[in-house]
Structure 1
Amino acid sequence: MYQTKTPVYQTEFIELGSQTSIFLEENMLIIFNETVPADLKDISAVHKQTELLQNVEVGDTLHIQGEQYKILFVGEKANETLRDLGHCTIEFSGKSSSDLPGTLCVEKKDVPQLEVGGKLAIYKG
């Protein structure tokens, strides 16, 4: 029987910082909810504040505007910052490690084209 994947985090982009595209060119995306510090707003994809229902784990799937990415690494602080600030750095690197504790590494595929109103979600398994 087909099972639906359980979303643990669902939100929508409400603002894209002026330098977001520079980071996307480097296969990185920095996200924050509306509580983003002013000095980080230019580099962030800002999304609606939402609740992290369960911790993100390796093997979960990140969905951004219709694109899917398998999560290969979850930094030791990623769940905490995602829960508290809606923040993490997403690396589209295909790596299973990062020096940055607030990072999620996902499979290396084309980075998504972001737009205000676009959806971001993380699903279990």
Structure 2
Amino acid sequence: MDDFYYESTILRVGDEAADLINGGILILFGEPLPRDLESLSVVHKPADNPALEIRAGDELWLGGARLTLTAVGERAQENLTTLGHMVVYVNPDPAAGLLPGAVHAEGPLGVPEPGCELRLVRA
């Protein structure tokens, strides 16, 4: 059994989100979200609030992709809990700083399909 502590279903992918994802930036937002951010976001419907605190070493599963979290900003937990919002920078430049609401991750990332599951898994 997988030890996931957050589960959500992808509802839709904004018009500009695929370009961002292909560039290594995944913007997740739960509903409702600001209209001006919808085209940039992957919109999802959480099953519940995270049961645990997000931490480096955990995994983000998005459809068939498995990413390992390498750094977690100090506001990432609050943003995910209150807004379903998380910005994931995939394979970032090592010199790039960590923004307070951001998460850094390593691994392959593709554009998710509506209906696929998103999970945060304690490693």
TM-score (norm 1): 0.88
The alignment of Structure 1 onto Structure 2 pairs a total of residues equal to 121
1:30 aligns with 2:27: yes
Q: Measure the CA separation in 1 of the matches of 2:95 and 2:57.
A: 11
Q: In structure 1, what is the equivalent of residue 84 of structure 2? A: 86
Displacement of 1:110 in angstroms is 2.6
Q: Measure the CA separation in 1 of the matches of 2:98 and 2:56.
A: 16
Question: Percent same amino acid among aligned pairs?
Answer: 27
Paired residues for 1:42-121 under 5 Å? 42-49=39-46, 50-93=48-91, 95=94, 98-107=97-106, 109-121=107-119
CA gap of 1:35–1:6, structure 2 versus 1, over 3 A, is same
Q: Measure the CA separation in 2 of the matches of 1:97 and 1:73.
A: 11
The runs of 5 or more residues in structure 2 that have no matched partner are none
Aligned structure 1 segments of 4 or more residues deviating by more than 4 angstroms: 94-97
- 1:1-53 CA distances to partner (integer Å, 9 max, x unpaired)? xxx44211100100111110111121110000012111111100000033111
CA RMSD of aligned residues (A): 1.7
Q: Measure the CA separation in 2 of the matches of 1:18 and 1:113.
A: 11
The runs of 5 or more residues in structure 1 that have no matched partner are none
Task: In structure 2, give the amino acid aligned to 1:70.
Answer: T
Q: Measure the CA separation in 1 of the matches of 2:15 and 2:45.
A: 18
Kept after mapping to 2: 8 A contact 1:31/1:88:
yes
TM-score (norm 2): 0.90
Q: In structure 2, what is the equivalent of residue 40 of structure 1? A: 37
Displacement of 1:88 in angstroms is 0.8
Task: In structure 1, give the amino acid aligned to 2:39.
Answer: D
State the secondary structure of the residue aligned to 2:82: helix
